[in-house]
Amino acid sequence: MRTFSGIQPTGSKHLGNFIGAIRGYVEGQDRGEAIYCIVDLHAITVPYDPARLRETVLDTTAILIAAGLDPDRCVLFRQGDVPEHTELCWLLSAVTAYGDLQRMTQFKDKSAKQKELVSAGLFTYPVLQAADILAYNADEVPVGDDQRQHLELARDVAERFNARFGETFVVPRARIPEVGARIMDLQEPTSKMSTTAESDAGVIRVLDEPKAVEKKIKSAVTDSGSEVVRSPDKPGITNLIDIMAVVRGMAPEEVEGEFDGSGYGRFKQAVAEAVVDYLAPVRQRYQELRPDEDQLHEILHAGAEKAHAIAHETVAVARERMGVGPPS
C-alpha cells in the first residue's frame, strides 16, 4: 500500500495540523510505502515573501522529522523540485469540471480574504493537489477533515480520466482520524484552529514555549455548566476532550469518565500538562535539527530524486493515453 500527503510550508504548525495530519504521516510509515511532500507551489497562490518561503520549507522539514518522519523509511521532498506535479496538473485540468472548482469552500474562504489579487492559482489549487496525489498512484491520503472536499475532487478527477482514457490512476481514499480530525480554535471553538487566525490566543503552536501552551489552554473558552462531557452545545469543552483523548491515547469516553465531577479548572490544568508533555520531544528535536540546513537540503534533494522516478513514469503513461507528444 502507498500513502501520500502534502503539507503547506510554514514553521508555525499548530496542534490541529499535528493531530489531524502529521501524526497520520508518521503512522503511514508502518503501513507501507509513504511519500510526503512540502507544497511550496501551493504556497505561492496567496501573498508571500520568496525568501521567507525558502526558510519555512526548511522549518517544516525539521518539524516533520522531529515529529517522527524517517527519511530512510519514507520519501520526503519539496513539491517544486519535481516538475511532473505541474505537468500533470495541466493534463488533469482537461478533465476537471469548472463547476466543481467553483464549489470548493476553501477557495471561497481564501479568496474572500485577498484584498488585491485573487489568483487563478488559488482557483486551480485543487487540481494541483489532485496531481500531487495521482502522480504517485497513492492508495491512501492522511488528511484533516478540512481537506475532505479536495480529496473527493481528486477521486472524481481520477475516475473521469480512467473512464475516458483507460485505467491509469489509482482512485485514492482519505484517511481521516476518528478523533481529532478537526481541532478547533481555543477562543473560537466553532472555528477550526488555523495558522492565519486573527488572534494567536486560541492557536497552540507546536513550537510554543510550555508556559505559552499552558496559558492558552487555561484561558480556553468553555461553556455553561461544569460537566466534562462532549455535547453539540458544548463545543469548547468537547474540543478539549478530543485533544486530551489524542495526546493521552484514550477514547473520549475514558476522558469523560476520568474527569467526571472534577470541574473545568482541574480538567484544563490536566489538558495543559498533557499537551506540554506531548509536544516537548518534538520541540526539542526540532531545535537540534533546524540549524543544520545543509542536512535538511540533502534530505529534500534525495527525496525529490526518489519522487521524480515514480512520478515520471505515471505522467508518461498519462501523456501517452491522452495523445500528448509523439507516441512512445
Q: Indicate the SS3 state at residue 51.
A: helix
Residue 138 pLDDT greater than 90, yes or no: yes
Residue 95 sits in the same domain as residue 134:
yes
Torsion of CA 176, 152, 157, 319, to 10 degrees: -20
Between 115 and 84, the higher pLDDT residue: 84
- The DSSP string of 85-102 is HHHHHHHHHTTS-HHHHH
| Total tally of structural domains belonging to the chain | 2
Q: What was the pLDDT predicted at 184?
A: 94
Q: What percent of the chain has pLDDT over 90?
A: 76
123 burial type by CB count under 10 A (0-12 exposed, 13-18 middle, 19+ buried): middle
Q: Indicate the SS3 state at residue 143.
A: coil
DSSP state of 130: H
d(CA 23, CA 19): 6
Q: Decide if 18 is inside a domain.
A: yes
Residue 154 sits in the same domain as residue 299:
yes
d(CA 319, CA 234): 52
Residue 158 sits in the same domain as residue 63:
yes
Q: What is the CATH number of the domain that holds 167?
A: 3.40.50.620
Q: Decide if 295 is inside a domain.
A: yes
Q: What is the CATH number of the domain that holds 207?
A: 1.10.240.10
Q: Decide if 181 is inside a domain.
A: no
Residue 213 sits in the same domain as residue 244:
yes
- The pTM for the full model equals 0.92
Q: What was the pLDDT predicted at 185?
A: 95
d(CA 37, CA 304): 9
Q: Decide if 327 is inside a domain.
A: no
Residue 204 sits in the same domain as residue 170:
no
Residue 279 pLDDT greater than 80, yes or no: yes
Q: Decide if 194 is inside a domain.
A: no
Residue 260 sits in the same domain as residue 121:
no
Residue 85 pLDDT greater than 90, yes or no: yes
Q: What was the pLDDT predicted at 318?
A: 98
Q: Decide if 187 is inside a domain.
A: no
What angle do helix axes 125-134 and 148-165 make, rounded to 10 degrees?
70
pLDDT tens digits for range 32-68? 999 999 999 999 998 899 999 999 999 999 999 999 9
Q: Decide if 185 is inside a domain.
A: no
Q: What was the pLDDT predicted at 11?
A: 64
Residue 134 sits in the same domain as residue 204:
no
Residue 263 sits in the same domain as residue 160:
no
Q: Decide if 182 is inside a domain.
A: no
Residue 16 sits in the same domain as residue 116:
yes
Residue 48 sits in the same domain as residue 123:
yes
Q: Which domain holds residue 129?
A: 2-176+291-322
Residue 164 sits in the same domain as residue 18:
yes
Residue 48 sits in the same domain as residue 135:
yes
